[in-house]
Structure 1
């Protein structure tokens, strides 16, 4: 190593994943140096943020040395070769503790990798550890009885949201360049919004969910969290691909998402619909101000932006019904442990046990009707843009907001409706930072597109980041 640890950390961890990868390939930085830089960042930041709950230092060092040997031999390198990555703690990792954020699995070590982890490894990623999540990812704030709460890098007194809050905080703070997350209701997008990074909900089936329960389910998907849209595209390319043995697996319609994102340099003529509140729950005025300013900038840059009257609010009850049934399916093999689960998870499962076939049929009818509305919208527009979250980050102890713009919410899930209605329709959704609020906190813009529109969505997200950069969390805050 030719520079001090502090300088190495500062110089390397501030670079994007694509830049880090290119330095490794050019032999200007070794995978071992890259790992050391991120380990130094973790040592400095994680005690405050509690984003990474299991750190695999020795295993990562071994993998980094092997990655360095491969570079020096001049062999074929994976597209993520040498990049440190953390995996959400509900996703199985062979030989690495996976707790699902639950005391019931506090010492659980799987024998096999989830398929998405195996793909990241084949792409050359260095699995550095596991990121925090609420118990079985049931919740939009990241806290559990095993590891406690994760904190927001922009202000550690605030929440990073959830359930991929550990992954989002680790990326936003510079502890890793990339992280894996899962998204069922909002779990990649709202943590990305709260932490000022890019988070992508992918088309169901693009990334196989093996070994997750409910293999025919289109609700929960894997997705990348990254500081830049290009970095999210790079990670996406490593995760996607047809799996003939996964029932809803589909092949991507592009050869390289990264190439397509890099080629999306002109937004002139794009047809964009802007809706400040698709869920009928309201939006905080400061959030709406930042998002409206961002879409005005897109219009100034040549896009055709229309503010339209569009509501998907009728899908809220349908989603809650389907979500309740999903909770039972996910926890079916553990129903005998219901009394030992945390209050939030157990409550969700009990709600699901009350759902009947008539309820499910009614929910699917509403879903089908709503699909027709979205089909018409995407016949007229390339993208729908909304605020990613209707509120700014809230105190970490709060768990969830109880009101929006002074209006009381009816339940703890209502506030994520702008995100979960995208899930209900199996659409692509991406949160990209649109600017900072007057309190200095990031505000996320949600870019929504049809199935298989990931590269186009990320291309627009890249433009937003180029014209509306938000910078990094202040060093004094991150310390």
Structure 2
């Protein structure tokens, strides 16, 4: 990266904008120049709205730099999230020309915080897939090796941030969709507590499974974006106000892990994990002992949640697409197949799944009664070839579908706890490896505080091909 402004982190850009060192137009121009160079290589941004971004800058209040947390910062939005006046395709040919007439609540919040919406990022059709590819825009490539996948479904957002096209990006996460793309791209991503960021603009208002979250190059940047995304929405049924004033303030004061009890588990799903990944993650966690943490490798399994997640995911798929059930033949085989599988479920199936989910949740509660945080590998394998929908095997276990390998992430989704993904090192071939840090509900600032310490001890640098 040679462009100084596009290489700066979001917090540094915010400070430069507040001091008057740079203007929002200069920041925008720097990132547009980065997009012109990087996007043709990686296909992360599928809709660019330069004119609207310039209009948004012109409308910024003169005194906003001091009061708006994201003042003048370019942000991109995952292409399943509604954006007023900006094409939103859901990664589906059936919606290739769809332009919403309203923003999702999270986009409203980002605009109110001063963010400049610059475009939409690639995603598999309706975010259904662990590889970011669709029939409308093709595949997004990993900036550490363009022949590899950035994972999904927020792969476009992760790549845009990792390559300096934007300092911040919004993503969504139901199974792994923020956490594993962050891990594969060497950046930070946060699956937030359900209700912390209002989901208005999505279906299923009472659902806490799919959440919005930030993708950023540092823990501090992710906290800054979180401050611009959270807040009580009195019209959203499960909305909750954050129990902190500023996540960024907490993260910036987080200087050590003294007194924290951390449990490391290499495989919560029982599917196995690549040995090199496990070794790198374990070493990164043990380095937290230098910051005062007490780290213990423990025996812990959430494998009983495997079947319940699949059932509840099937119910969720049908609910998400309920008004489009007569369009299934127009959707790709992945999305269509998932919905058809969900339609086979019975009430007994979902009731049994909820019953087992409660039991798995209690095992997590028991763990958090002894430890403050759980850390696992964010993904059990390194980035895999772009031509594959999913890796063939994990730890010697042969896979036959694209869901199983993301179990370390979706088992956390199942029980509703937040998790941060942070780079903890690189493989011998130079690919980033991510840690998943899991904590109690509304512990996002603390998760990012730990992430800051991990990043400081295990810097991975810029992607090789960016």
Q: CA deviation at 1:299?
A: 2.0
For the Cα contact (< 8 Å) 1:197–1:227, is it kept in 2?
A: yes
State whether structure 2 residue 195 is matched by structure 1 residue 205. Answer: yes
Structure 2 unaligned blocks of 5 or more: none
CA distance in 2, matches of 1:293, 1:266: 18
1:322 maps onto 2:315 in alignment: no
- Partner in structure 2 of residue 133 of structure 1: 123
Deviation string 1:297-349 (CA, Å, 9 cap, x unpaired) is: 11233210010000000100000000001000000000000111100000000
CA–CA distance in 2 between the matches of 1:472 and 1:466?
A: 14
In the alignment, is residue 144 of structure 1 matched against residue 134 of structure 2? yes
SS in 2 for 1:419: helix
Tell me by how many angstroms 1:286 deviates: 1.1
Alignment map for 1:165-180 (pairs within 5 Å): 165-180=155-170
Instruction: State the partner residue of 1:342.
Output: 332
The DSSP-based 3-state class of the residue aligned with 1:336 is: helix
Partner Cα separation in structure 2 for residue 289 and residue 393 of structure 1: 16
TM-aligned CA deviation for residue 399 of structure 1 = 1.5
Where does residue 74 of structure 2 map in the other structure? 84
1:396 corresponds to: 386
Query: Can you list the C-alpha shifts for 1:428-467, whole angstroms capped at 9, x where unaligned?
Result: 1110000011010000000000100000100000111111
The residue that corresponds to 1:55 in the other structure is: 48
| Aligned residue number for residue 92 of structure 2 | 102
| Superposition map of 1:224-303 within 5 A | 224-303=214-293
CA distance in 2, matches of 1:411, 1:58: 42
Does residue 41 of structure 1 match 2:31? no
Please state how far the C-alpha of 1:75 moved relative to its aligned partner.
Answer: 7.3
Q: Distance in 2 between matches of 1:278 and 1:76?
A: 44
Cα offset, 1:65, TM superposition: 3.4
Q: Distance in 1 between matches of 2:50 and 2:29?
A: 10
The reply on whether 1:414 has 2:404 as its aligned counterpart is yes
Aligned CA RMSD, in angstroms, stands at 1.1
> Does residue 25 in structure 1 map to residue 13 in structure 2?
no
Report if the CA contact (8 A) 2:382-2:431 is conserved: yes
Pairing 1:16–2:9 present = yes
Asked if the contact 1:216/1:247 (under 8 Å) is kept, the reply is yes
**Alpha-carbon distance, 1:266 to partner:** 1.3
CA distance in 2, matches of 1:224, 1:426: 17
Taking the aligned partners of 1:87 and 1:257, their CA distance within structure 2 comes to 21
Residues 11-44 of structure 1, C-alpha deviations (whole Å, 9 max, x = no match):
1111110110110111001100000000000000
Does structure 1 conserve the Cα–Cα contact (< 8 Å) formed by 2:124 and 2:133? yes
Take 1:279 and 1:342, find their aligned partners in 2: how far apart are those partners? 29
After TM superposition, the structure 1 stretch with the greater mean CA deviation from structure 2, 289-298 or 189-198, is 289-298
**Quick check: 1:371–1:425 contact (8 Å CA) kept in 2?**
yes
Q: Matches of 2:48 and 2:67 in 1, distance apart?
A: 25
* Cα offset, 1:74, TM superposition: 7.1
Change (3 A) 1:163 1:466: same
**For residues 61-76 of structure 1, what are the structure 2 equivalents within 5 Å?**
61-67=54-60, 70-71=61-62
Contact kept in structure 1, 2:189 and 2:213, CA below 8 Å: yes
Following the alignment from structure 1 to structure 2, what is the Cα–Cα distance between the partners of residues 271 and 410?
Answer: 37
Matched ranges for 1:320-399 at <5 A: 320-399=310-389
Following TM superposition, the consecutive aligned residue runs of length 4 or more in structure 1 with deviations greater than 3 angstroms are 73-77
Q: Deviations over 1:159-187 (max 9, x none)?
A: 10000000000000000000000000000
Deviations 1:103-123 (A, max 9, x none): 010000000000000000000
In structure 1, what is the Cα distance between the partners aligned to 2:410 and 2:64?
Answer: 45
Question: Any idea what SS the aligned residue of 1:427 has?
Answer: coil
SS in structure 2 of the partner of residue 153 of structure 1: coil
Specify whether residues 74 and 394 from structure 1 end up closer, same or farther in structure 2 by C-alpha distance, changes over 3 A only.
closer
SS at match of 1:314: helix
- Find the residue that maps to 1:363 and give its secondary structure: helix
Gap regions ≥5 residues in structure 1: 1-5
| Counterpart for residue 426 of structure 2 | 436
Paired with 1:62 and 1:309, the residues of 2 have a C-alpha distance of 55
Aligned residues: 466
Deviations 1:271-303 (A, max 9, x none): 000000000110011111110110121123321
The answer on 1:469 being equivalent to 2:462 is no
TM-score, normalised to structure 2, is: 0.98
**CA contact under 8 A between 2:17 and 2:65: conserved in structure 1?**
no
